[in-house]
Chains A and B, each alone.
Chain A
Amino acid sequence: MGQTLSVTGLSKLYKLYDSPRARLRALLTGRPTHRPHWALRDVSFSLDRGQCLAVIGDNGAGKSTLLKLIAGTLQPTAGTIERGGRGRVTAILELGAGFHPEFSGRDNLRFAGSLIGIADEEIARLEAEIIRFAELEESIDRPVKTYSSGMAMRLAFSLITAVEPDILIIDEALAVGDQHFQKKCVERIASFRRNGCTILFCSHSQYHIRQLCDAALWLDGGNPRLLGPTEMVLAGYEAHVRTLDARRAAPAAAAMTGAPKALEPGRRGAITSLTVTPLGEGEPPVLAGRDLTVSITASVSGDERPNFGVMIEQARGVGITVVATHIDGVTARRNDDGTWTATVTFPDLPLHSGEYVVSGYLADSLGMVIYDEWHQYGRFVYASPARLPGLVTLKHVWS
């Protein structure tokens, strides 16, 4: 078995020319007229079967360059990429491009399949399943120019994931179609992973990164900054982002939004209320008691039993805790009007004094797809009896 993917000293140099004219001159004379820009420098890691690596970093950190190098659409300047086994690599980079608008969906399917290396006979065998997954049975024989962008993307995703790869590369592509289809996408990727597919995942969704990935690589200006277990790397990256935000002195409180939304057509679920109790006077209000109770209510289409998550953060600073129903193995309560409610109580709140914000999350029955989030919605001040510096009072034993 061994390693599916082994990357050693991978570097990519972009030659920046001042003008296309300089580019042509360099091409004709062979004399270098460029400024060098290292988009990626000396990246090494190796992944076993079934491992999932998240690639995180600011914009321009080299994430997409790394993914494209491994996908093979870019050539490295230095370093090697070894793919073990059959080494089938599937890259979900940007979906839906490359379809010819005049041809039918079926026709495009066959052609796009041959482009990504699926043989004709195999496409013929998989065709029905691809169309079924994309939910395009009705419109597959119409020209692609009559499709909505969501339909084209569904077809592209369905095709590209029709053959199970050894290495799957995902670049911010989980936002495919409506929430219902997104859920199917996430489920399919999760099942690949269970079957031993190695995944490289680049996303700004920390939730999905935490759900899917067991390791993370943080790129900073093309250089590998930190490689290790997901939580460790994410914590380091979050601290870095916070420092940046503080330096930019952006008023973070502006993020406090969240008027209750009605369930729009096509939406799988939405939070309808989030309450923090017991609150007293003040702005923000003071927590009037030692026990914090957060209650979230949501409507979900159909009979799906949703999961809820609650996050508590310092008002300006670090996240403190996230709790979620599917992690704790509890189920939400069905109300008489069909909505769902989950209530969580933190007895004898072990926080020190300070200002805190509460976010609420609504997820699908597996806890994979986030249907709705009320980010930093509830806000309260807590006056702790503990008169010592610190953040939380941990459970402790003196001896």
Chain B
Amino acid sequence: MLRALNAEIAGLWRARGLLAIMARRELAARHAGSVLGVFWLYAQPLLTVAAYYLVFDVVFKLRLGESAPTRAMGAYLIVGMVPWLAFTESTGRGMMSLLEAGGLLQKNPLPPALFPARSLLTSAITYLPLMLLLVAAYTPMHRGSAALLLLPLLLLMMLVIWFLLAYALAILAAALRDVVQVVGFILSIGAFLSPVLFPPAMFPQGLAWVLWLNPMTPSVLGMQSLLLAGAAPGADVWLALAAWIILLAVVLDRLVLRSREQLVDWL
């Protein structure tokens, strides 16, 4: 069962020291040459969040209907948008990771899984502090509910989905470069096919199922439920998360099996 994938994970675990070094260097490379350095890493998402808060909750004071976990439009957007931004960054960079690592992989015997894992890790390092900040900021809304204890599990399942997806897309992109364009487009409009911008109840009844085709839907619903309402996410969220993990693991296992021998030649 999933032998090819297990071998990849084992290889990744053996190279975990290298993974940490690579992630640190990737972060350093992103702001190499800039004066404010690491500040920029956190400034971009933080400023985005601040803009949402100011525009929606302070200036326009937009309110959502009964069906949303909160009435404040800004808070709703922020809690969905932060994981969504992290997801698009991790997936976009992860998809390119193998193509960009071609030179390294051709000269050094390294496990290919290192590169999508590095993209995931750097995105996580960038966005995790921000998520914790949100947890703290919205605690007064539900007075520190015990359901927050489920947050680590939710984040873990979310990261597993991201990794599997990024690695699978990286292999597909290695086989056919056009994948990068198609996925890039989907990522840019994907927020509309998710509960990030509108509560699911606002979607046309017949089309609500489309939401579940988005791997981020269960994670976003879970985050909103935990952070805004302080309520444990429903069974549909956990089931959808598990289903996505199983589906992606099976697909990735096939892809690894079929590409393992020749992957490096495609880069």
Residue contact B172 to A27, C-beta cutoff 8 Å = yes
CA distance A216 to B170 in the complex (A): 40
B204 interface residue per 8 A CB criterion = no
A302 interface residue per 8 A CB criterion = no
B128 interface residue per 8 A CB criterion = no
User: Of B39-47, B51-59, B66-74, B254-262, which stretch is located at the interface?
Assistant: B254-262
User: Of A97-105, A307-315, A333-341, which stretch is located at the interface?
Assistant: A97-105
B16 interface residue per 8 A CB criterion = no
Given contacts A111-B21, A115-B18, are A103 and B32 in contact (CB under 8 A)? yes
Given contacts A21-B176, A24-B176, are A75 and B18 in contact (CB under 8 A)? no
Residue contact B176 to A73, C-beta cutoff 8 Å = no
Nearest CB of B to A176, in Å: 15
Residue contact A115 to B176, C-beta cutoff 8 Å = no
Nearest CB of A to B65, in Å: 42
Given contacts A27-B255, A75-B261, are A98 and B104 in contact (CB under 8 A)? yes
B205 interface residue per 8 A CB criterion = no
Residue contact A20 to B105, C-beta cutoff 8 Å = no
Binding site secondary structure of chain B: helix
Residue contact A93 to B172, C-beta cutoff 8 Å = no
Residue contact A23 to B176, C-beta cutoff 8 Å = yes
Given contacts A20-B175, A20-B177, are A73 and B106 in contact (CB under 8 A)? yes
Nearest CB of A to B229, in Å: 40
Nearest CB of B to A339, in Å: 42
A30 interface residue per 8 A CB criterion = yes
Nearest CB of B to A331, in Å: 42
CA distance A116 to B15 in the complex (A): 11
A342 interface residue per 8 A CB criterion = no
CA distance A363 to B266 in the complex (A): 42
CA distance A115 to B107 in the complex (A): 10
Which residues of chain B have C-beta atoms less than 8 A from A72's C-beta?
109
Given contacts A15-B262, A30-B254, A77-B261, are A24 and B175 in contact (CB under 8 A)? yes
Nearest CB of A to B248, in Å: 14
Which residues of chain A have C-beta atoms less than 8 A from B106's C-beta?
68, 73, 93
CA distance A360 to B136 in the complex (A): 80
Nearest CB of B to A389, in Å: 52
Which residues of chain B have C-beta atoms less than 8 A from A74's C-beta?
264-265
- How many residue pairs bridge A and B at CB < 8 Å? 70
Residue of B nearest to A32 (CB): B258
Which residues of chain B have C-beta atoms less than 8 A from A73's C-beta?
105-109, 264
CA distance A364 to B261 in the complex (A): 44
Which residues of chain B have C-beta atoms less than 8 A from A61's C-beta?
none
Which residues of chain B have C-beta atoms less than 8 A from A89's C-beta?
109
Given contacts A27-B259, A102-B32, are A114 and B176 in contact (CB under 8 A)? no
Residue contact A116 to B172, C-beta cutoff 8 Å = no
Chain B 168-202: CB-based contact to A (< 8 A → 1; otherwise 0): 00011001111100000000000000000000000
Given contacts A24-B175, A75-B261, are A116 and B108 in contact (CB under 8 A)? yes
Residue contact A27 to B33, C-beta cutoff 8 Å = no
Per the CB 8 Å criterion, the residue count for chain B at the interface is 33
Which residues of chain A have C-beta atoms less than 8 A from B132's C-beta?
none
B110 interface residue per 8 A CB criterion = yes
Chain A 53-70: CB-based contact to B (< 8 A → 1; otherwise 0): 000000000000000100
Residue contact B107 to A93, C-beta cutoff 8 Å = yes
CA distance A102 to B108 in the complex (A): 22
CA distance A103 to B21 in the complex (A): 15
Nearest CB of B to A293, in Å: 49
Within 8 A of B (CB), among A1-53: 13-15, 20-21, 23-24, 26-27, 30
CA distance A91 to B109 in the complex (A): 10
Q: Which of A21, A26, A97 contacts B107 (CB 8 A)?
A: A97
Residue contact B266 to A23, C-beta cutoff 8 Å = yes
Residue of B nearest to A114 (CB): B21
B29 interface residue per 8 A CB criterion = yes
Nearest CB of B to A375, in Å: 33
Residue contact A97 to B103, C-beta cutoff 8 Å = yes
A287 interface residue per 8 A CB criterion = no
B3 interface residue per 8 A CB criterion = no
CA distance A21 to B29 in the complex (A): 34
Interface hub of B21, B25, B262 (most chain A Cβ within 10 A): B262
Nearest CB of B to A202, in Å: 15
CA distance A149 to B178 in the complex (A): 33
Which residues of chain A have C-beta atoms less than 8 A from B109's C-beta?
71-73, 89
A82 interface residue per 8 A CB criterion = no
Given contacts A74-B264, A103-B29, are A27 and B18 in contact (CB under 8 A)? no
CA distance A74 to B25 in the complex (A): 26
Which residues of chain A have C-beta atoms less than 8 A from B103's C-beta?
97-98
5 nearest A-B pairs in the assembled complex, by CB-CB distance: A72-B109, A102-B32, A24-B176, A23-B175, A20-B176
Known: A72-B109, A73-B107. 18 other contacts (CB 8 A): A13-B261, A14-B265, A21-B176, A23-B266, A24-B172, A24-B175, A26-B258, A27-B172, A68-B106, A71-B109, A73-B106, A73-B108, A73-B264, A100-B32, A103-B29, A103-B32, A111-B21, A116-B108
The contact sample of 6 A-B pairs, CB cut-off 8 A, is A27-B255, A72-B109, A73-B106, A73-B109, A74-B264, A111-B21
